[in-house]
């Protein structure tokens, strides 16, 4: 890569992979609209997993069609395409398992984080990272999954204003060797996806619940700014569904396009 913002180098990331990370190739782009969209468009040609990293994303996406704002050097943006022998509809809980892998790595880097159902990573009750998982059937059998991750490293005030709410960042991670950080993320994610392919979300449920940001707290389940359910968030089951204690008993909430909001919060 030869542009002025050349923080990322595919060869350096490749050189720092472990046995799991070596299951995937690595590509780096100076700029693109969306790494998820790029990989989804290439699924028919992929022969093996690949991590696609962008120095700058101009049209990043989150869940339910939301935009993901980023700034060069301030937000780490990448996607990982991974093949599963199973059909996509059997991969329940995968975004949560990916959240566990990323959160555990950040905690290993001395960054205290928690998980917000279904796919956010929080620091000090503010969003630090988000996960978008998309999938498509493979004509040769099984399915491809593309997991996109945006991780806030150092957010300038003007970007926070653009986002419209306070978000978390991790300035000291911004000073870490970016290629080493990406390699460690790839290694953690590849290990996670390999285990998920064998053991499903059941292998991650207890780990997710241990980092649950709103455990035993009142929450609201929202869709299009409308409250669908409210109750006490108990945790997740082995399928990645939220267990919500309501006045009518325990309800099982499937992710879909719904989101969770702490009672009394606007986030």
Q: What is the CA radius of gyration of the chain?
A: 18
pLDDT at 204 over 70: yes
pLDDT of residue 165: 66
CB atoms within 10 A of CB 54: 25
What's the pTM value of the predicted model, to 2 decimals?
0.90
The pLDDT score that the predictor gives to residue 7 is 77
- What span, in angstroms and rounded, lies between the C-alpha atoms of 50 and 46? 8
The pLDDT confidence band at residue 142, using thresholds 50, 70 and 90, is: very high
Q: What percent of the chain has pLDDT over 90?
A: 75
Q: How far apart are CA 218 and CA 191, in angstroms?
A: 34
Question: For the CA atoms of 15, 80, 113, 211, what is the dihedral angle to 10 degrees?
Answer: -120
Domains and CATH numbers, the chain: 10-209 (3.30.930.10), 214-262 (2.30.30.100)
- Give yes or no for residue 232 having a pLDDT over 50: yes
pLDDT at 18 over 60: yes
SS3 of 116-156: the string is ECCCEEEECCEEEEEEEEEEEECCCCCEEEEEEEEEECCCC
pLDDT in the model for residue 72: 57
Report which of 98, 95, 102, 82 is spatially closest to residue 133, judged by C-alpha positions.
Answer: 95
- Report CA 248 to chain centroid distance, whole Å: 32
Q: Answer yes or no: are the C-beta atoms of 52 and 78 closer than 8 Å.
A: yes
Selected residue with higher pLDDT from 68 and 7: 7
pLDDT tens by residue, 57-112: 887 555 444 555 556 568 899 999 999 999 998 999 999 999 999 999 999 999 99
Helix then strand count (H, E) for the chain reads 7, 14
Report the run of H or E that residue 214 belongs to, with start and end: none
Contact status, residue 98 vs residue 106, Cβ threshold 8 Å: no
């Amino acid at each position: 890569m030869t542009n002025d913002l050349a923080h990322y180098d595919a060869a350096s990331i490749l050189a720092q992979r472990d046995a799991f990370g070596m299951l995937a190739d690595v590509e780096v782009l100076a700029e693109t609209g969306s790494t998820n969209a790029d990989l989804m468009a290439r699924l028919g040609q992929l022969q093996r997993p690949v991590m696609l990293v962008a120095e700058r994303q101009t049209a990043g996406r989150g869940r339910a069609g939301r935009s993901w704002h980023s700034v060069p050097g301030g937000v780490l943006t990448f996607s990982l395409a991974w093949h599963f022998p199973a059909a996509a509809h059997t991969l329940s809980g995968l975004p949560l398992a990916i959240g566990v892998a990323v959160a555990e790595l950040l905690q290993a880097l001395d960054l205290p984080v928690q998980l917000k159902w279904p796919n956010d990573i929080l620091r000090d009750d503010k969003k630090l990272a988000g996960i978008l998982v998309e999938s498509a059937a493979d004509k040769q059998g099984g399915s491809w999954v593309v997991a996109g991750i945006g991780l806030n490293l150092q957010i300038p005030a003007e970007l926070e204003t653009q986002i419209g709410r306070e978000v978390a960042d991790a300035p000291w991670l911004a000073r870490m060797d970016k290629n080493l950080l990406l390699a460690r993320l790839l290694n953690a994610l590849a290990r996670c996806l390999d285990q998920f392919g064998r053991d499903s979300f059941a292998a991650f449920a207890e780990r997710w619940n241990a980092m649950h940001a709103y455990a035993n707290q009142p929450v609201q389940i929202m869709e299009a700014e409308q409250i669908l359910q409210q109750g006490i968030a108990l945790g997740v089951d082995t399928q990645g569904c939220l267990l919500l204690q309501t006045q009518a008993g325990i309800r099982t909430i499937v992710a879909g396009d719904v989101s969770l909001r702490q009672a009394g919060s606007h986030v």
